[in-house]
Chains A and B, each alone.
Chain A
Amino acid sequence: MSEQIKKFMYLNRRAPYGTIYAWESLEVVLIGAAFDQDVSLAFLDDGVFQLVKGQDTAEVDMKNFSPTYQALGDYDVTKLFVEKESLEERGLTLDDLMPLTYEDEDDDWAEKDSIKVVSRAELADIMEEQDVMFSF
């Protein structure tokens, strides 16, 4: 579809329901998946709350869009970096997050984890490698 492949990173920095940034970021990711770029997502600051499991928005009358993250693997969006320090600062661990997986076509469709917890320093290195950064 496109003439070149770039490294695209979507930075998610905000909690899921206080503002619409998280949901509208996810919409870009889903549309962008059709462009066959090298996509990764980063979750840092309050953005780590986007991946917390067991979200229930009934009382605030908002659409719970967290199940959409489960679909990312089917869109070949398989690299979700979560910043370790942001988790720790909020009293969260990997066990508090939704288990997100994808099937690796290069490894006999083995089911693999999409989420990778990385340190702030590691995430900075990963950002450095990107061609395009969308910040939400």
Chain B
Amino acid sequence: MKFAIQVNEGPYQHQATDSAYQFTKAALEGGHEVMRVFFYHDGVNNGTKLTTPPQDDRNIVNRWSELAKKYDLDMVVCVAAAQRRGIVDEGEMQRNGKDAENIADNFRISGLGQLVEAGIQSERLVVFGD
């Protein structure tokens, strides 16, 4: 099965992001394809490397980064949602005159077209949110 995943909620606040991660990991381990994980709404906060949870808790951001590295997973953060919430990569930093970037490893910032395209090209789009 060729899946696309949409994550609509931020880390720690809401279990949706944990469920999305567990689902994505299980799908990949089960031999399925996950053609894209798209982070939208507060879900874009999954992509900040400035996250510093207590040591005895799961590190949601690193967990995504490591999963993406292992499976060459395409993890896209919506640019419009990211701009509102202060998720910034090198390009966005320069474009918007900011003095810092915070995008975590293996995430990339791109447009909503990537979400629509994922809906078209996947066999199942699975949405995790409220």
Interface residues, chain A, with chain B CB atoms under 8 Å away: 2-4, 6, 8, 20-21, 24, 27-28, 31-32, 34-35, 37, 132-136
Contact = CB atoms under 8 A, between A and B. Distances in A.
Contact of A6 (B84, B112, B119, B127): B119
Contacts of A31: 111-113, 116
A51 B78 CA distance: 25
Nearest to A14: B130
B112 A135 contact: no
A135 B127 contact: yes
A134 B41 contact: no
B80 A27 contact: yes
A4 B121 CA distance: 9
Mostly, the B contact residues are helix
Interface in B88-125: 111-113, 115-117, 119-120, 125
Contact of A132 (B81, B111, B119): B119
A6 B111 CA distance: 20
Interface residues of B, number: 18
A133 B120 CA distance: 11
Nearest to B120: A2
B120 to A, nearest CB: 5
Interface of B: 6, 8, 40-41, 80-81, 84, 111-113, 115-117, 119-120, 125, 127, 129
Contacts of A6: 119-120
A8 B125 CA distance: 11
Contacts of A4: 120
Given A31-B112, A35-B117, A37-B120, A132 B125 contact: yes
A16 B41 CA distance: 14
A24 B111 contact: no
14 contacts: A6-B119, A8-B119, A21-B8, A24-B41, A24-B80, A27-B80, A28-B115, A28-B116, A32-B115, A32-B116, A35-B116, A37-B116, A134-B6, A136-B8
Contacts of B113: 31-32, 34-35
B124 to A, nearest CB: 9
A24 B127 contact: no
Contacts of B40: 24, 28
B112 A134 contact: no
A114 B73 CA distance: 39
Contacts of B112: 27-28, 31-32
